[in-house]
Amino acid sequence: MNMEAKKTRTRYFILLMITFVLTLATGDRATLSVAGPEMQKELGITAVEIGYLFSAFSWAYVISMTPAGWVADKVGSKRAMFLGILLWSVVTVFMGLVSYVTFVVPALLILRFLLGMCESPVGPAAGRIIAAWFPSQERGVAGAIFNSAQYASLAIFTPLMALLCHAFGWDHVFIVMGVIGIVVALAWSKFFYVPMKHPSINTAEMAYIKEGGGLVELDMDPLENSKNAVKKTRAGFAEIGQLFKSKMLLGIFLGQYCISAITWFFMTWFPIYLVKERGMSILQAGVMASLPAICGLVGGVTSGFFSDWLLKKTGNLSLARKTPITIGLTMSASMILCNYVSSEFMVIFLMSAAFFGKGFGSLGWAVVADTAPKEIIGTTGGLFNSLGNIAGIITPVVIGYILQESGSFANALVFVGAHGLIAVFSYWFIVGKIERLKLNGKSSSTSVAESATK
C-alpha cells in the first residue's frame, strides 16, 4: 500500500469547520436584510437608515480587520475564532431585543458596529488555517470552498430566517441565529486543532502537507512554549508598508474591493430588491433569494477545482488563478440585464448567472494563501479583507441614496455590476505575476507552483 493510500484526510474536516463558521458569520450579518422590511414597517426605519445600518457593520469590520489579523498572529487561530464566534452571537441576540429600548436606530447602529468588530477575526484566522493545513496544489479548492460559505449561508439561512420572520416576527431571526452561534462557538473550542497537535492526523498526511508548501508549524499556539512553534515576525508599520509597496498585492486588494461590492449587494439589498422592486412577499423573497445563492455556491466550489486542475496542467499559478476570476466576474455583470426584463423567472435567472459568476471568480483567499509573506499571513489576510470590505461601507449607503433619489434599483444594478469588470481589469493589468511576497529579501517557503512563470 503506497503513502497516498495511507494518509488521513483530517484537513478536509478542518476545512468543513472554517467553512461552516463563515456560513454562520455571513448569515448573522444578513439578518438585517431579511428582517429589514418588517422592521421598517414596525419600527419606522427609512431606506437611508437601513443603508447606514448595513454600512455600520462594515465600518467596524474594516477598522477591526487588520488588528484582528494581528491578534490571530499573536494568540493563534483557535482562540481568535472562538472569541469572535461567541461575542458576535451574543450581539446578534441583543439585536432581537432592540424594540424594548427607546432609541431603536442608534441602538441598532451600535450593535451592528459591534457585530462587525466581533466577526473580524474570521477571515484572518481562516487564511492562516488554510495556509497551515493545505499544500499549494489544494489551496484553490480549499479557498474556493471556504469562500463559498457566503453562498451556502444565503441558501441555508435566508429561507430559515424568512420562515422565522413570517411565522414568529423579525425579532426571532436575531435571537435564533445568535443561539445557534453560541453552540457553534462551544463546538469550535472542543474540536479544532492545529496540524501539529491534531489527534487524527497521521505522519503521511503531515508529510504531504509539508512537501506541498503547507506551513504546518505556522499556527502552533504562540502562547505555548513549544519547540515546534514558529518564531513570529512583528507586524509593524515597516512590514505593513512593504505590503503596500507591492503592486501585486495592491491589485489583489482592489479586486477584492470590487468582489465585495457585489457580495454586499446580495447580502443586504437583494431581498429588499425582490420585495420592493419585484413585488414579492418576504417569504417568497427568502425562497427566491436562495436560488442565486445556490448557483453562487456551485460556482464557488467548481472554481477551486478548475483552478487547481489548471495549475496541475500548466504549472502556471497566475494563469490558474486569473482565468476563473476573469470568466466569473465578467459573468457577474449580467445582473445589469435585469433592468430590461419583466418576468420573475428572467430576474432570478439573470441574478443566478451573476451570482454563479461572482462565486466562480472569488478566489481571493486562495490568492492570499499563495502570495502573503509567510511571517505575517494573518495580518496580510486581515488587511486584504479590511480593504475589500470598504465596499460594505460604501455600497449599501450608495444604493440607499440611489433609491431615495430615483425610487428604483435600475442605477443600483449598473453601479454594482460594473465592479466585476473593474476587478478583471485589476487582475490582468495591475496584479501581474502571482507569487509569494518576501519581506526584506527573507526566504519564504514556496512550492514549485508558486515559482512557476506567469
Any idea where the domains of the chain sit in the sequence? 10-215+237-431
* pLDDT tens digits, one per residue of 70-110: 788 778 888 899 999 999 999 999 998 988 888 888 999 99
Q: At what angle do helices 47-75 and 31-43 cross, to 10 degrees?
A: 140
**For residues 408 and 41, what is the distance between their CA atoms, to the nearest angstrom?**
19
**For residues 47 and 55, what is the distance between their CA atoms, to the nearest angstrom?**
12
Residue 230: the pLDDT is 46
**For residues 146 and 19, what is the distance between their CA atoms, to the nearest angstrom?**
5
Average pLDDT for residues 406-435, to the nearest whole number? Answer: 91
Residue 220: the pLDDT is 59
Contact status, residue 369 vs residue 147, Cβ threshold 8 Å: no
What percent of the chain shows pLDDT beyond 90? 28
CA angle 309, 332, 56 (to 5 degrees): 110
Greatest CA separation found in the chain? 69
* Residue 21 pLDDT greater than 70, yes or no: yes
Contact status, residue 339 vs residue 350, Cβ threshold 8 Å: no
Residue 31: the pLDDT is 87
* Residue 450 pLDDT greater than 50, yes or no: no
Higher pLDDT, 126 or 220: 126
Average pLDDT of the residues of the chain? 83
Quick one: 110 exposed, middle or buried, by C-beta within 10 A (0-12, 13-18, 19+)?
A: middle
Element of type H or E holding 290: helix 282-314
Q: How many CB atoms lie within 10 A of CB 241?
A: 9
Contact status, residue 160 vs residue 74, Cβ threshold 8 Å: no
Residue 227: the pLDDT is 47
Q: pLDDT category, 435, cuts 50, 70, 90?
A: confident
* Residue 308 pLDDT greater than 80, yes or no: yes
Residue whose C-alpha is closest to residue 278's, from 262, 289, 267? 289
* pLDDT tens digits, one per residue of 111-165: 999 999 999 888 888 888 888 888 877 877 787 788 778 777 877 888 888 889 8
* Residue 181 pLDDT greater than 90, yes or no: yes
Residue 340: the pLDDT is 93
* pLDDT tens digits, one per residue of 347-398: 889 999 998 999 899 888 778 878 888 777 777 877 887 788 888 888 888 8
Cβ-Cβ contacts under 8 Å for 81 (sequence gap 6 or more): 18, 21, 121, 122, 125, 126, 188, 192
Q: At what angle do helices 377-388 and 390-406 cross, to 10 degrees?
A: 10
* CATH fold group of domain 10-215+237-431: Growth Hormone; Chain: A; (1.20.1250)
Q: pLDDT category, 201, cuts 50, 70, 90?
A: confident
Residue whose C-alpha is closest to residue 296's, from 250, 263, 339, 260? 263
The helices-and-strands tally (H runs, E runs) of the chain is: 21, 0
Residue 93: the pLDDT is 95
Residue 158: the pLDDT is 80
Distance of CA 298 to the CA centre of its chain: 16
**For residues 299 and 353, what is the distance between their CA atoms, to the nearest angstrom?**
9
Q: At what angle do helices 104-119 and 77-95 cross, to 10 degrees?
A: 160
Residue 229: the pLDDT is 47
Distance of CA 53 to the CA centre of its chain: 19
